[in-house]
Amino acid sequence: MNRRAREQPVGSSGSGLLLVLEYVTGCVLVLVVLALACLTLAAYVPKIDWGLTEAQQVVGILGLLTAGLALVSIVALLHTRRRT
């Protein structure tokens, strides 16, 4: 390992923006897990009325999953960049 890499561990939080992004990402991941719990419930109890059409539910869960993927990707890339 070179000296620069020794000074700061890879993945340590460096900036305020990164901390905010991590917080938002964490919230979205929690929402994804909750959505999957609802999905499982809807699979076994299909008569539950969620107040949304099937298309709205599908778009909602696709949007949530896409947001989760995008945020985790951004945070992961920021974490693995070479620091100066």
Partner 1 sequence: MHESPRPAASANPDDPLLSADLAPEDRAYLADHALKKPLRVLDIWALGVGAVITGEYFGWNLGLNGNGPVAMLIASLVVCLLYLTWVLALSELSVAMPFAGGPLAYGRRAVDPSLGFVMGWSMYLECQFATIATALATGGYIAFLLNPDHPDPHVQVWAALGTVAVFLVLHIWGVKEQSAAMVWMTYGAILGLVIFWVAAATHFSWDRIWTHPLLPAAKGWKSVLDAVPYALWWLVIIETVALAAEEAHEPQRTIPRGLVWAQLTLIVLVVLTWLFACGAMDSQEIAVTVRDGREEPVNYPLAKIIRAIPVGRSKLLVYGFGGIALFGMIASYHGMVFGTSRQTFAMGRAGYLPGFLGSVHATRRTPVASLLATSFITAACVVANLRFPNAIAVAVLVSTLTALIWYILAMGCLFVLRRREPALFGRYRTPVHRVLPVTVVLLSAFAAYVYSGIDVKVIPLTALLYAIALIWFWFFAHGKLRKAAPEELTARQSTPGLDEPNP
Can you give the binding site for partner 1, defined by CB under 8 A?
Answer: 1-2, 5, 9-12, 18, 22, 25-26, 29-30, 32-33, 36, 39-40, 42-44, 46, 54-55, 58, 61-62, 65-66, 68-69, 72-73, 75-80, 82
* 39 closest CA partner among 64, 7, 20, 19: 64
Neighbouring C-beta atoms of residue 65, cutoff 10 Å: 14
Q: Residue 73 CB, nearest distance to partner 1 (Å)? A: 6
> Minimum distance from CB of 49 to partner 1 (Å)?
13
User: Position 82: which residue type?
Assistant: R
Closest to partner 1 by CB, 1 vs 84, is 1
Q: Which is nearer to partner 1, 43 or 84 (CB)?
A: 43
| DSSP state, residue 67 | H
- How far, CA to CA in Å, does 62 sit from each of 14, 31, 58? 31, 12, 6
CB of 48 vs partner 1, minimal distance in Å: 10
Using alpha carbons only, give the angle 74, 56, 24 rounded to the nearest 5 degrees.
25
